[in-house]
Amino acid sequence: MNPLIQIVTEGAARPGPTATLIYDDWYPAMRASKLASRLGSFAGRNRLRTTTLLDIPLVIGRRKDGAVFALRDSCPHRGIPLSVGWFDGNNLTCRYHGWRFEPCTGRCEHIPSLTAADPLDATRIFAQSYPAVERDGTIWVYVPRPGSGRRVDPDQLPAVPALATFSARFRSAHLMADLPCNVDHGIIGLMDPAHGPFVHQAWWWRSRGSIRQKTKRFEPIPEGFRMAAHAPSGNSAPYKLLGVYGQPVETTIDFTLPNRRTEIIRCGDKWFSSLTTVTPVTSSTCRIDVVAAWNVFRRVPLVTPIAKFFGARFVRQDQITMIQQAEGLRHNPTLMLIDDADRPAKWYFALKQARLDGTGNHPLTEPVDLHWRS
């Protein structure tokens, strides 16, 4: 489950246009495999990792008892990154003045410079902590709106996103790619049906000549929309492969705020499931993560490396296109969204605005058919 693609994007010093960020939700921060295993493998013991989510520097780790934690990577005393301190598997000690923190709550347990006569109660001081959960091999972090108060009630949080699976035994894989564009461009690129024949041309996927008219039914779902269950397009190879089982193939694709696309393909008792997220790293850059699981071809040798190879090629094609697009976006061009191929992108912007404004408005009041050629 190692990431296959992670490139340092060029021109990062010159960030492109920014996007408004959606706070108060769960975002994938990193792969759990970057931390020590639950059993605390000797090599990775007490390892701290850093990342950035929604412009927030984070230090992430796992306590000896297995609990994962995420703290703002900044000591509340003088701001030195906590990640340069010492973590003994239970407590994190700041490198500068030795304040000791319990990492799951962020509570300061000890300030070495205090004397017995000092009235200051160290335990009333907190490093900023964020709810963190491991799910499907990913560390998910809940990111509240900055300045919205320190404590988040864990019982009030929305459910942590999970990859749907449909049998006890399956294979799984993960892919990721950094994208140099803001999260809005990452997301509308993800849901855009019209780029397929141009960006994803390959003998094993499809050719430009295979463009044909498509009609897909979309239905509203809470904070998102669903491309209703349908027989997948016959002009792409992976779906043709599923035909070998001789049963009808059906696929359902959902998009839900803030950034999630789920695709479920079922063919009798065979299934493929994926959860793709586009996560703001900063307000002008994002990262795409794909977690997939399947029981199709489970007994075929090398199926996971082969699937990862083709999956990585596919994601890489999107990544290259977005690197090129980012070059163009630096000059702040005026852009267009056209019907019907860009209608899902319009829905995304409307859903996002409704979330930001708290109106609960939904751009789709009833199921609608969209038509495009791809």
Cβ-contact 214, 226 below 8 angstroms: no
Q: Which is nearer to ligand FES, 94 or 173 (CB)?
A: 94
Q: State whether the Cα torsion 174-180-182-187 is positive or negative.
A: negative
Of 126 and 245, the one with the shorter C-beta distance to ligand FES is 126
Is 126 one of the binding residues for ligand FES (CB under 6 A)?
A: no
Site string (315-334) toward Fe ion, x via CB under 5 A: ---x----------------
Would the CA dihedral through 217, 176, 29, 74 be positive or negative? Answer: negative
Please, which residues have CB within 8 angstroms of residue 52's CB and are 6 or more apart in sequence? Answer: 58, 281, 282
> With CB under 5 A, what is the number of residues at the site for Fe ion?
1
Radius of gyration of the chain (CA): 23
**Residue 99 site contact among Fe ion, ligand FES, none (CB < 5 to 8 Å, cut-off depends on kind):** ligand FES
CB of residue 23 vs Fe ion: minimum separation in angstroms?
27
- Asked if 293 and 265 touch (Cβ cutoff 8 Å), the reply is no
The SS3 assignment for 307 reads helix
CB atoms within 10 A of CB 339: 10
Rounded to the nearest whole angstrom, what is the least distance from the CB of residue 62 to ligand FES in the complex?
22
330: contact with ligand FES by CB under 6 A: no
The structure tokens 């109660």 sit at 121
145 binds, among Fe ion, ligand FES, none (CB under 5 to 8 A by kind): none
Which residues between 141 and 170 bind ligand FES (CB under 6 A)?
none
Give the residue, chosen from 69, 87, 99, 239, that forms a contact with ligand FES under the rule CB under 6 A: 99
Dihedral, CA atoms, 107, 112, 114, 116, nearest 10 degrees?
100
Task: Identify which range of 5-13, 92-100, 288-296, 312-320 contacts ligand FES by CB under 6 A.
Answer: 92-100
80 makes contact with ligand FES (CB under 6 A): yes
Interface positions with Fe ion (CB under 5 A): 318
